[in-house]
Structure 1
Amino acid sequence: MRLRKQALGDRNLIGSRVEAARKKQGMKQKELLAQLQVSGVDMNASGLSKLEGQIRFVTDFELVALADILGVSVDWLLGRTE
């Protein structure tokens, strides 16, 4: 497992929660990317890494797809619920 080289950014609220939910399920980034593709969200490995590092913005389509795939609510990803 690689450690993040740079500090978390400030471009989204959900990156750290996406990473935590993905890792809790034992899912690799590659697996999440494949499921995003099936859901109609075109994202590459660099984009997902930047999303998790909170250094890229997240679209509403991505937000909904990530919540569905990870089995969490949009509110949880946004930090509105525990």
Structure 2
Amino acid sequence: MRLRKQALGTRNLVGARVEAARKSEGMKQKELLAQLQVQGIDMNASGLSKLEGQIRYVTDYELVALAKIFNVSVDWLLGLGEHSEK
């Protein structure tokens, strides 16, 4: 597992939650990218890394797809809710 080289950015609120959800499910970035593809989201490894590092913006389509993949609410991803929909 590689450590983050850059400090967390300020371009999204969901990056830390996405990374935490992915890791809690034992999912690799490559697996998440494949699931995003199934949801119609075309993202590369660099884009996902930047999303998790809060360095890039997240589109509304990506936000909805991530909520579906992790079975959580969009509010939870945004840090507005404490509980997932699981």
Instruction: State the TM-score, normalizing by the size of structure 2.
Output: 0.94
Instruction: Report deviation, 1:72.
Output: 1.0
SS at match of 2:20: helix
Gaps of 5+ in 2: none
2:4 is matched with 4
Gaps of 5+ in 1: none
1:54 is matched with 54
- Name the Cα RMSD after superposition: 0.4
Instruction: State the TM-score, normalizing by the size of structure 1.
Output: 0.98
Instruction: Report deviation, 1:70.
Output: 1.0
2:19 is matched with 19
CA distance in 1 between partners of 2:22 and 2:71 (Å): 10
Runs of 4+ in 1 over 2 A off after TM superposition: none
- Aligned-residue sequence identity (percent) comes to 83
